[in-house]
Amino acid sequence: MSKPLQGRHFIDTQEWTRDELELVLETSSDLKRKFYRDEPHALLRDRTLFMLFWEQSTRTRNSFEAGMTQLGGHAHDLSPEKLQVSHGETAQDTARVLSRMGHGIAIRNCDWGKGNAFIRSVAALSRVPVLNMQCDIFHPCQAVADLMTIREKFPDGLRGRKIAVSWTYAPSYVRPISVPQSTILMMSRFGLDVTLAHPKEFKLMPEILAQAQANAAANGTKFEMVDDMDAAFEGAHIVYPKSWGCLVTEPDRQAAVQHISRYPDWIANEKRMAMAAKDAIYMHPLPASRGQEVTDAVIDGPQSVVWDEAENRLHTAKALMALTM
């Protein structure tokens, strides 16, 4: 296959052109068809991917590991305690070593104020492509899979359709802000009108909001922010209710949990789904806190596409690896 993206790092979708992202989506769809037809597609035979995980993972780890196997290569599942970074080895030295031993490095590090910086430090000295499997600022792999899913569900086009990206209640732990940030950046570039909803404490990074506004202006779409979940759902064709922490305004974790506890009514339920468009779909990157972020009737209901969305993590991960490694 032609590989115009070979050797490219994938850290933030904003760093790739629309044409480059379209190539990823086109390749994802082709690999999905091959997967279902059981057609061989060992595009990365004898290649090695090093996967560095600072957090637990279900979809991300398995999409990359299974994907690498299906592409004919091998993925190493690594964590800090398996590496000398746990004893003080620098990101730069880790990059120098691993990039001489394999063909790609994929990293998930959501430590607030550290994750993206670590990934970029590795990328700066790596001889091979570095893929961001999620950091404290971005989750570009999720955004690509989400756009693929939305296009599958609305094959007639996205122009003029509305996506509601809304904060939800989930007090169990403080979740990263990377999913909503990558979502508003990606969807504002590809034809969707974006409405972002959250209580006042749960702001996203100002520079990300400015980029989303600029994306919308450049691509003839709309970007608006509201503090009302009902207003966000009203007339939406895609609803994306997802919890995230108030890390921008309150870095203290205990205080952040207290802020979350104030808003138990921010939940995706049947009443709110009825406010959306008749053909609206419900999305979530998973895992979802049932009974807090969303009711069972919604996530298990006919408008939910979360399982298709999760599956597309596999096909998009394979496309990113096949094109860059």
> What secondary structure does DSSP assign to 48-72, as a single string?
EEEEEESS--SHHHHHHHHHHHHTT
Placement of tokens 């509601």 in the chain: 164
Q: What CATH number does domain 13-139+312-324 carry, 3.40.50.1370, 3.40.50.150, 3.40.605.10, 3.40.50.2000?
A: 3.40.50.1370
* Range of weakest confidence among 90-104, 182-196, 251-265: 251-265
Whether the pLDDT of residue 21 is over 90: the answer is yes
Cα–Cα distance, 11 to 131 (Å, whole number): 6
Cα–Cα distance, 32 to 168 (Å, whole number): 31
pLDDT value for 214: 98
Q: Whose CA is closest to 205, among 255, 253, 245?
A: 245
pLDDT value for 260: 94
- Determine what percent of the chain is predicted with pLDDT higher than 90: 91
CATH superfamily of 142-309: Aspartate/ornithine carbamoyltransferase (3.40.50.1370)
Tokens of 292: 């807090």
Instruction: Give the Cα-Cα-Cα angle 135, 268, 196 (nearest 5 degrees).
Output: 55
- Residue 73 — φ and ψ, nearest 5°? -110, -160
Facing residues of 131 across strands? Answer: 10, 106
Q: Check whether the bond before 287 is cis (ω within 30° of 0).
A: yes
* Predicted structure pTM score: 0.96
Q: Where are the alpha helices (DSSP H) in the chain?
A: 18-37, 59-70, 91-101, 115-125, 140-153, 178-187, 206-219, 229-233, 253-260, 270-275, 296-299, 306-324
DSSP SS3 for 223: strand
pLDDT value for 251: 77
Per-residue pLDDT, averaged over 2-13, amounts to 95
- DSSP character at residue 137: S
pLDDT value for 179: 98
Write out pLDDT tens, residues 137-187.
999 999 999 999 999 999 999 999 999 999 999 988 889 999 999 999 999
Whether the pLDDT of residue 1 is over 80: the answer is no
Whether the pLDDT of residue 46 is over 80: the answer is yes
Provide CATH 3.40.50.1370 ranges for the chain: 13-139+312-324, 142-309
pLDDT value for 172: 80
Q: What is the mean pLDDT of the chain?
A: 96
Q: Whose CA is closest to 294, among 227, 241, 239?
A: 241
Residue 265, judged by CB atoms within 10 A of its CB (0-12, 13-18, 19+), counts as exposed
Whether the pLDDT of residue 253 is over 90: the answer is no
Residue type, 95: A
Using pLDDT thresholds of 50, 70 and 90, give the confidence band for residue 264.
very high
Cα–Cα distance, 64 to 252 (Å, whole number): 32
* Range of weakest confidence among 199-208, 242-251, 293-302, 312-321: 242-251
Count of beta carbons in the 10 Å neighbourhood of residue 154? 16
Facing residues of 106 across strands? Answer: 51, 131
DSSP SS3 for 180: helix
DSSP SS3 for 20: helix
89 and 82 in contact (C-beta within 8 Å)?
Answer: no
Using pLDDT thresholds of 50, 70 and 90, give the confidence band for residue 50.
very high
pLDDT value for 168: 98
